[in-house]
Structure 1
Amino acid sequence: MQLEHNFTVDAPIDSVWKALIDPERVAGCMPGASLTDVDGDKFTGQIKVKIGPVALVYKGVGTFIEKDEGAHRAVIEGNAKESRGQGTAKATVSMSLKDEGDTTTATVLTDLAITGKPAQFGRGMLSDVGGKIIDQFATCLSKKLAESEPAADAEETVPAAGEAATAGSSATSTVPATSAETQGARGGAVAQPQDEAEALDLMAYAGGSVLKRVAPIVGAVVVGAIVFVLVRRLRH
C-alpha cells in the first residue's frame, strides 16, 4: 500500500535536513523506536508496538539509498520482522523538504508492505494512525532543533586553542559533549544507550477511527443483550 503524509517543522531547511539524515538525532522522536547501531548509511534498531493487550517487537534494518542534499530529498529502505512471530514490515520511504523561510515543510511517501496483526487495520486506518505519529514526530523534532540552536551558538564563540594561547589565557577549550558523542557513534554502536522506548499503542493513536468501526458491533451486542434479558423476564 502507498501512503502520503505531510508535516511542518519550525526550523530552517538546512537544520531539518541535517537532522533527518542523522538517525541518532531523530530516533528518539519516533514513538516506540530505539536505535541500536549506526554504520554509515545503514542503521539498525527496534520498535515496540501494542495492539490492545498484545505487545509486539519488530527488529530491523534501515538503509539510506539516496541522499540528495541539493534537492533536500532522501530515500530509505527498511525491513523489519516481529521478534516472536511471523509478522513482517517492509517499506520504502521518500522524504522531500521545502523551504518556507523559518519553517520547513516535508512530504513523506511510503510504499508499505506489512503482514501479521497490524495488517488488520487496513490502508485507511494505517494512514490515519501514520499521520498522527508523524505529527508527534514533527513536534518533537521542532523542539529538539530549537534546543540545539543555543548550544551551536555557544560552540561557535569558543576561541581556538591558538587564539587562547596568544591572548595569554590559561583556560583550555573543550569540545562540546554532543559533538564528541556524535563522532564516537559514527563507526558502530550508539555512543550512549537510549532509554527503553515506550511501546507505540496503535489503538490509542487510531482513536476515533477504531471506535467508528467497532461502534456498530458494540451497539448490536448491547441491543442483543437487552433483548435477551427482556425475553427471559417475559417468560418468567
Structure 2
Amino acid sequence: MAMGADQYHRWDELAASALEWWADAGVDVLTDDAPRDWLARPNRAAVASAAATPAPGAAGPDDYASFWDWRLGPDAPERNWGNPILPPEGPRDADLLILLDQPGDESLIDGVEGAMFDRILASIGRSRGDALVAALAMARPPADTISPEALPPLAAAAGRLLALAPAKTVLIVGHTTSRALLAADGAPVPRALHGINQAGRELQALAIAHPRFMMKHPRVKREAWRCLQSLLGGQA
C-alpha cells in the first residue's frame, strides 16, 4: 500500500462507473455467440438514426395532455424498469423546458446535485417553480445507466415533448440528453443557444453538462455559465 495515498473508495460509485463503461462498449447480454470488439467506439450515429425513425406510436400521442397521460402511464418506455415513473416538476405551460437525463434517488434531481441545479437556475433568474423540468428517462434506469437499446424510444418521446410543449426555450442538461436530442455525431456539451426544429416547430436550445459532471470537473462550470449567459442576452 502506497504511503499517503487515499485508499478510500465508494464501491457503489466504482460499480456504476464500470457498468457505464460496459454499456457504452455495447454489452447488452451476458453471453454472445458472435465475437465482439469490446474496445470499439459505439456507433452514436446509428443510435441517433434509430431515434429519428421510431416505430409508429413509439413517441406518444400528438395531443399535449394525452402525451403526459401516456408518458407517465403503463405504456411508457420505462414501464418494465422496476422503478417508479416520476412526474415532471413545475408548470407544464412554462416558457422554459429543462430536460435532464434521468431522475435522482427521490425526485428528478435531488441531493447535492439538486442544490447545484437550483443555484444554476437562480443565476439566470429562474427556478423550478417557473420552468417545466422533465427527463429523458422519467424513471431511474437499471444500474443507473440508460442502455443503448433503451435510448431510441426515450429520445423519440423527448422529441415529441419538444414538439408539443408550449415552451419556447429548452435547456438540455447532460451528455446523454444532448447526444440523444442534438447530435448524431455525439457532439459534446456545453453548446450555446441555437435554433432546433421539432416537427416544423422552431425552439431555442441550450445544452450544458449535468451538475454531477460539474462536481467532478469544476472547470466545466465556467463553460456552462458562458452558455447560460445567452439566456440573459449576453455573449455565449
* TM bucket, shorter chain: under 0.3
Q: Normalising by the residue count of structure 2, what TM-score does the alignment of the two structures yield?
A: 0.22
Determine which structure has greater relative contact order: mean sequence separation of CA pairs < 8 Å that are 6+ residues apart, divided by chain length. Answer: 1
Higher strand proportion: 1
Calculate the TM-score normalised by the size of structure 1.
0.22
Between Structure 1 and Structure 2, the one with more helix by share is 1
